[in-house]
Structure 1
Amino acid sequence: MTDNALLPASVDLTAVVAAEPDPLLFATVSGAHLYGFPSRDSDVDLRGVHLLPAEALVGLREPEETRSRMWFEDGVEMDLVTHDLRKFVRLMLRRNGYVLEQLLSPLVVHTGAAHRELAALAPGVITRHHAHHYRGFAGTQWRLYAKNRELKPLLYTFRVLLTGIHLMRTGEIQADLPTLYDEVGLGPDYLPGLIEVKAAAEHGPAPVDPGRAEADIEALHIRLDEAQAASKLPDAPTAYDALHDFVVRARLGN
């Protein structure tokens, strides 16, 4: 389990995972904790993969491929979403950066050999078209910021654009905004200050001139377009057969 000091010490995340009705291949922390800008009152977003028994997929009843629940534990809002392995792998094959970030999150609550094998296959699904995922996500968050001028959607906009640019350049998933700024050298100079403000409160206005923010976001969109055009990533996943074999073996317990 992760020892990240930003996670609430009062919540036993291992116990939360152990209470799930079907075995979990993995569970990780996503959301603001993964992105590097949690506040003291941020909820805890747990994401993972459960493994349905074979009879749940071959019988007459509709399988519970996605499970989602929200609750409060010791005053902390918890948000748990898991997908059955087959659905999760299909999402991986659909240029979905969100599930790759969950799979490769360094904030690990539960893991095992299957998790490690699946993570090792992740590079084989990354394509140049993952830029579309991050471009679209950025557009959604920017529209939220334009409506309410709040800091949270602005940080999300910066985060997904920088993650997309880095992915197109390197083929590697990096979701932590401070790392993207400090080590990768991406983002405007006022970004660390915005992260500090977000740490104090989950919601509030963005202390930055909207015109400057818009210009910086537009510049990052251009850099994402350029990075995609220059990317050496393939046009299609290369790990389909290996992922198919993995799902079959995991389901049958081989």
Structure 2
Amino acid sequence: MSEIHQSILRELRGIEAEENVRILYACESGSRAWGFPSKDSDYDVRFVYLRRPEAYLSIFEQRDVIERPISELLDINGWDLKKGLTLFRKSNPPLLEWLQSPIRYEQNYTVADSIRKLSPLSFSPKSCIYHYLNMARGNYRTYLQGSEVKIKKYFYVLRPLLACAWIEKYQEVPPLDFNVLALDLIPEGTELREAVQDLLHRKMSGEELDLEPRLEVINVYLEQQIAHFELAASQFGSGGGVADAALDELFRAALLEVWGEDSRWTSSGGNQSET
């Protein structure tokens, strides 16, 4: 186990102790999971956690996100399982990505696998297309206008648009790996493929990518794809969806698995062993 992996696990144990929660699943998100990290990329750690049963029986709303200050090396935050399942019900792309991350720090219980089994039912092509399209459109307008652009930001527009193209082609959750997307969806032997692969090589070799003249062949492709999916997005299906009862059952099963008999509470708020 690497030193950084050990450091991440220490941070997770600290969160459990400080917040009185159990971490169900923790993974890498961002450029490392997407396959285009720089040599100095930080670690984007995302996790799903579960509070003690009594926290969910309170009349007061519980905070459903845990965040830690971002350092030069680590960016760590997570979602309560209840929040995660609520968003999963709406085919939330970030959560779907976390579940298939190639870099997993922890998977302590069966919850993540249970959610994965329901993913094909939850997946909504329309919702995911709109998510990725909005991401691409926002990054394009912010970073890639003008004669000189922040060159590394091309990846943060290319990847979501390639994810849209994957959904259009295969009607399934797109893979995280940028290179898998690019090799499948950008025709071999084209100027576009050559420009994208060259940019990827430069980024992963550690070359400093800052302001440079815009890459016209990529900009043309991005503008065409944005225009295409702006017109096409509404035509995609919404998916079958997961039954609310199935998500409730998954949540209750997680409470029982994680907290054992402490999760067996009656509607009056007491433990079943009480009379």
Q: Which runs of 5+ in 1 are unaligned?
A: none
Q: Which runs of 5+ in 2 are unaligned?
A: 261-275
Counterpart-to-counterpart distance in 1, 2:245 and 2:153:
38
Q: 1:237 aligns with which of 220, 241, 244?
A: 241
- SS state at 1:153 partner: helix
Q: What is the CA RMSD across the aligned residues, in angstroms?
A: 2.6
Matched ranges for 1:44-193 at <5 A: 44-72=43-71, 76-111=72-107, 112-129=109-126, 130-146=128-144, 149-170=149-170, 171-182=172-183, 184-186=184-186, 188-189=192-193, 190-193=195-198
Q: 1:201 to 1:51 in 2, by over 3 A?
A: farther
Q: 1:56 to 1:163 in 2, by over 3 A?
A: same
CA offset digits 1:150-206 (Å, max 9, x no partner): 123211100011112212332133121111112x23373111111122221565135
Q: 1:16 aligns with which of 5, 8, 11?
A: 11
- SS state at 1:15 partner: helix
Q: Taking every aligned residue pair, what percent have the same amino acid on both sides? A: 23
Q: Which residue of the partner structure matches residue 197 of structure 1?
A: 202
Counterpart-to-counterpart distance in 1, 2:243 and 2:151:
38
- SS state at 1:70 partner: coil
Counterpart-to-counterpart distance in 1, 2:43 and 2:88:
23
Counterpart residue identity of residue 126, structure 1? F
**Does the 8 Å CA contact 1:38/1:202 hold for their aligned counterparts?**
no
| Runs of 4+, deviation exceeding 6 Å | none
Larger radius of gyration: 2
**Does the 8 Å CA contact 2:44/2:74 hold for their aligned counterparts?**
yes
Counterpart-to-counterpart distance in 2, 1:15 and 1:202:
31
State the aligned residue count: 242
Counterpart-to-counterpart distance in 2, 1:213 and 1:228:
22
**Does the 8 Å CA contact 1:165/1:223 hold for their aligned counterparts?**
no
What is the CA distance between 1:60 and its match in structure 2? 4.2
- SS state at 1:175 partner: coil
Q: 1:56 to 1:203 in 2, by over 3 A?
A: farther
Counterpart-to-counterpart distance in 1, 2:26 and 2:213:
35
**Does the 8 Å CA contact 1:151/1:198 hold for their aligned counterparts?**
no
Counterpart-to-counterpart distance in 1, 2:209 and 2:61:
39
Counterpart-to-counterpart distance in 2, 1:175 and 1:202:
24
What is the CA distance between 1:46 and its match in structure 2? 0.5
